[in-house]
Amino acid sequence: MRLFLISFALAFVFCLPLLGQQMDFAVPGRGFLSIPAVGLEYMLVFFHEIGHTLAAWLFGIPAVPQFDFQHGGGLSRYYDRSYILLGMIWLLLGVLAVKFYNEMHYRLLIWLGIGVVLHVLFAFTRLHDIFMSFMGHGTEVLIGGFCMLRAFWNTTEKSRGAAERWLNMVFGLFAQLHNMILTAGLMMSDISRDAYSMQKGGHLQGDLDRIALSLHISGANSGGISFSALAGRFYRYGLSGVEIPPTPKSR
């Protein structure tokens, strides 16, 4: 519990520059706090763009992630869909289906079949665009949750020292809080929505703006949907994780 509470306090402090920007108020010591905050944010950018890239490749769309040092953050460059790549993905899924069938893993075979149907449905509708847009922030939260679980399960202290366990918890909580503050700002603040829409110099749309346009909803509603999903993930990885036993062997 001490690990969670202290890490939560540190993560919240590191999120104060973002909170001040979202709510338009001055943060004391913002220049000093921006040093760790920017470092942690670029770690999030790395996982964010990896999420977009992997989601694009999943639907046969080659993509390359990169940092954007001109406007800040990052971006992923998408190329035209390769049906050869898409065919290779379906071939691998077919091989996996045969393997499950031969080994009589029928439950896994059913889940794989459902996954293939959803994959085809997403690939040939606008759903794949929505999925690709969401998986930027989605990957941030998943990686943050993974780091929190590593800290809760104590998988790093015995092998690599207590410091890494604390770093895992702080970064995991920072990822959850950073995304929750961002999406809450889009729900409640016109200033936040205007700033979000002007990212990349106004030349590119943000992920949640693209989702809003695809679903024909407002940016506030898009932020609300994302906030609800993030809050659920935070509870799953955070508050409910406090009761997780300290080591995998004791589960």
Q: Parse the chain into domains and list their residue ranges.
A: 2-250
- Alpha-carbon distance 100 to 112, whole Å? 9
Q: What is the pLDDT of residues 160-181, one digit of tens each?
A: 778 888 999 999 999 999 988 8
Please give the radius of gyration of the chain, using alpha carbons only, rounded to the nearest integer. 20
The segments of the chain whose pLDDT lies below 50 read 241-251
19 burial via Cβ count (<10 Å: 0-12, 13-18, 19+): middle
- The gap from C-alpha 133 to its chain's centroid, in whole angstroms, comes to 10
Q: What is the pLDDT of residues 225-245, one digit of tens each?
A: 666 665 555 555 555 544 444
User: Going along the chain, which residue ranges are E strands?
Assistant: 63-67, 74-78
- With residues binned 3-state (H G I as helix, E B as strand, rest as coil), the percentages for the chain, rounded to 5, are 75, 5, 20
Other C-beta atoms lying within 10 Å of the C-beta of residue 159: 9
Closest among 93, 137, 100, 98 to 116, alpha carbons compared: 93
- Alpha-carbon distance 193 to 21, whole Å? 11
What is the per-residue pLDDT for 97?
95
What is the per-residue pLDDT for 191?
76
Q: Which amino acid is at 42?
A: Y
